Amino acid sequence: MKLALIGIGQAGGKVVDALVDYERRTKTGFVVDAIAVNSARADLRGLRNVPESRQVLVGLTRVKGHGVGADNELGAEVTAEDVGDVLSMVDDLPVHEIDAFLVVAGLGGGTGSGGAPVIARELKHIYTEPVYGLGILPARDEGGIYTLNAARSLQTFVREVDNLIVFDNDAWRKTGESLESGYGSLNAELARRLGVLFSAGEGDGSGAVAESVVDASEIINTLGSGGVSTIGYAAVELDRPKRGLLSRLSGGKADAEDGGDSTNRITSLVRRAALGRLTMPCEIAGAERGLVVIAGPSDVLSRRGIERARTWLEDETGTMEIRGGDYPVGSDFVAAVVLLSGVYDVPRVKELQAVAIETQRDMLAKRESSAASLDDLVSTGDDRIEPLF
């Protein structure tokens, strides 16, 4: 499936950078082009895989290239003012080649959090291709303003996109490692999951003929229109002597060769992917739709395994809308990606909403009490004023 990537803000830019890096290393061709948008000049300079000719600096007259300092209303304003620059760069892309847009942002800061919904809305207005979002939630210890920004942005962003894929930094923090130093590995993890998913829709990575390749339309139908989604992943190294490229490319049929093993391997990988750490942890029961992708050498891609895994996921989620397919790649690993879309039982989202309501109530109460004390001050002051006459 061919994507145009648009990263906004620091996290958005870095994740897009990681996706482009993954795509270049694997040569899977799912990225048609990538754009980075920011109100901070230094953040744009730090990108390795998005050239200057694909970068847009917004809000220059307002914030002088220094970012919006986690003010997401200002982030939305400066993006809206300069959205024409972003759109004319998108216009330069070969949009006829793409299947969808993916707008990526960290929802806790200012630029990405405020600006991503603005860009998504404009893209949806102009283009007929679906517009998906990738939203990154802040870790719990990043502080109230990040939580509040994320809660607000989540609500707007999800309204403006066809589907919002969510990644929760909090669930992915490693103990003993600061979030800052861990971003590299988090972004690589995210790039791997999205990379396998979207390049699967691109067809064959090995040259071999697949039994039931995942199609871009299956990804699009699973993402559907509206709601949030989460992605699970599991991989296992094949225990067999390293083979030459030629024999890997010519691979045989799994069901004939070692049917039982391949079937069991696939079902257990899919269980691990769906029940292990998701990009956004949630109850998988109640998901509206799902997609299972098995990537690996074609001789171990057992059709029966994928069928069983689909049935298992239907039972676990309670939905009949589970799609599945394979993605043959020349590799010594077999990987399962499970995309669950339309999930609603998400503790973290509920928590963010509750915090946002509480913070807003607090802010209102503080504003009222400071207004009241200002009144007091003024009236006490008045009392103390001695009449001049």
- Annotated binding-site residue numbers for GTP: 10-14, 110-112, 142, 169, 187
State in angstroms the smallest separation of the CB of 267 from Mg ion.
Answer: 43
Work out whether 76 is an interface residue with ligand GTP (CB under 6 A). Answer: no
282 and 343 Cβ atoms separated by less than 8 Å:
yes
In the annotated binding site, the residues are 10-14, 110-112, 142, 169, 187
Residue 106 in the binding site for ligand GTP (CB under 6 A): yes
37-54 b/e (C-beta count within 10 Å ≥ 16 → b): bbbbeebbeebebbeeeb
Which one of residues 67, 297, 305, 324 is an interface residue with ligand GTP (CB under 6 A)?
67
Contact partner, 70, from Mg ion, ligand GTP, none, Cβ < 5-8 Å per class: ligand GTP
Site string for ligand GTP, 185-204 (x = CB under 6 A): -xx-----------------
Handedness of CA 11, 13, 16, 21 (dihedral sign): negative
Length of the chain in terms of residues written: 389
Q: Of the listed pieces 20-28, 67-75, 89-97, 214-222, which binds ligand GTP according to CB under 6 A?
A: 67-75
CB under 5 to 8 A by kind: which of Mg ion, ligand GTP, none does 39 bind?
Answer: ligand GTP
Binding site for Mg ion (CB under 5 A): 10, 40, 67
Least distance CB 155 / ligand GTP (angstroms): 16
- DSSP notation for 128-186: SS-EEEEEEEPPGGG-HHHHHHHHHHHHHHHHHSSEEEEEEHHHHPPTTS-HHHHHHHH
Tokens of 121: 């809305």
Return the closest-CA partner of residue 13 out of 43, 42, 41, 40.
43
Q: How far apart are CA 339 and CA 208, in angstroms?
A: 25
C-beta atoms surrounding 364 within 10 Å? 10
Position 165 contacts ligand GTP (CB under 6 A): no
179 forms part of the interface with ligand GTP (CB under 6 A): yes
First to last CA, the chain: 84
- 169 interface partner picked from ligand GTP, Mg ion, none, CB below 5 to 8 A per type: ligand GTP
Q: Which residues bind ligand GTP (CB under 6 A)?
A: 9-11, 14-15, 39-40, 43, 67-70, 106, 108-113, 136, 138-139, 142, 146, 169, 179, 183, 186-187
